[in-house]
Amino acid sequence: AQTVTQSQPEMSVQEAETVTLSCTYDTSENNYYLFWYKQPPSRQMILVIRQEAYKQQNATENRFSVNFQKAAKSFSLKISDSQLGDTAMYFCAFMKHGGGGADGLTFGKGTHLIIQP
Amino acid sequence: NAGVTQTPKFRILKIGQSMTLQCAQDMNHNYMYWYRQDPGMGLKLIYYSVGAGITDKGEVPNGYNVSRSTTEDFPLRLELAAPSQTSVYFCAIGRTGVEQYFGPGTRLTVT
């Protein structure tokens, strides 16, 4: 079984600053996917970014990028030029490769990110 | 919401009552999932389906049942509701079984 750990329960930064959210995971799998999901106060779960473990290049999506360190089992999310709308819970999630998604996602407990005006 | 609808949005149940949470999609995706999110926690997988007629248990299936008679619908049945089932329930869909897109959730309280 795999576990996902997010060690920062809450973070607060000023608008326009850059912030990095941490995530570590434990697995015996070699091929897998990692995700960051955003959950704003509306409660909707929104996919932010995904990373395939076999890809060395870090994924980026506009202001969001990841630092994927496979050997260290670390998967951090960097948000550049943070905006008020980035205020939300952020969840790191893991999925095994090859199961057709049959095992679903394993989530961390989340980091509450607050962007101050 | 990537074409995922969940009903009801909120529900209060008494201990021992039963109910069905509805999930419907209009994206024709094969993969559908049910998760629960307890306060201060991430989501945990209850059941999943890889296509019509095929379902299987996730991490926390006890107290729940599902069926998948059509591609579009994946209802979650709670029998004999207990306070431990107080949670927010999310349905998710996926085309390839990798990326998952979530519905808006159902907040359930059992008292």
Q: Angle at Cα A52 formed by Cα A45 and Cα A115, nearest 5°?
A: 40
Q: From the centroid of its chain, how far is CA A78?
A: 9
Task: Report the alpha-carbon distance of residue B72 to residue B23 in Å, rounded.
Answer: 8
The predicted structure's pLDDT at residue A99: 60
CB pairs < 8 Å spanning A and B = 66
Q: Is B72 left (phi over 0), alpha (psi -120 to 50) or beta?
A: alpha
- B41 interaction partners in chain A (CB closer than 8 Å): 109-110
Of A91, A95, A110, the CB nearest to B98: A95
Question: Mean pLDDT lowest for which of A27-31, A102-106, B106-110?
Answer: A102-106
- A99 interaction partners in chain B (CB closer than 8 Å): 97
Beta-strand runs (E) in B14-86? 19-25, 31-37, 43-51, 54-57, 64-66, 76-78
Tokens 């409660």 -> residue: A43
Mean pLDDT, range A78-101, rounded to an integer: 90
| Closest by Cα among A49, A36, A53 to A96 | A53
Q: What is the mean pLDDT of each run of 10 residues along chain B (111 residues)?
A: 86 97 95 94 93 93 96 96 96 87 95 95
pLDDT digits (tens, 9 = 90+) for A44-87: 999 999 999 999 899 999 999 999 999 999 999 999 999 999 99
Contacts of B81 (CB under 8 A, 6+ apart): B13, B14, B15, B16, B17, B18, B19, B110
- B94 interaction partners in chain A (CB closer than 8 Å): 101
Q: State which H helix or E strand residue A20 sits in.
A: strand A19-21
Q: Residue A6 corresponds to which tokens in the numbers above? A: 């997010």
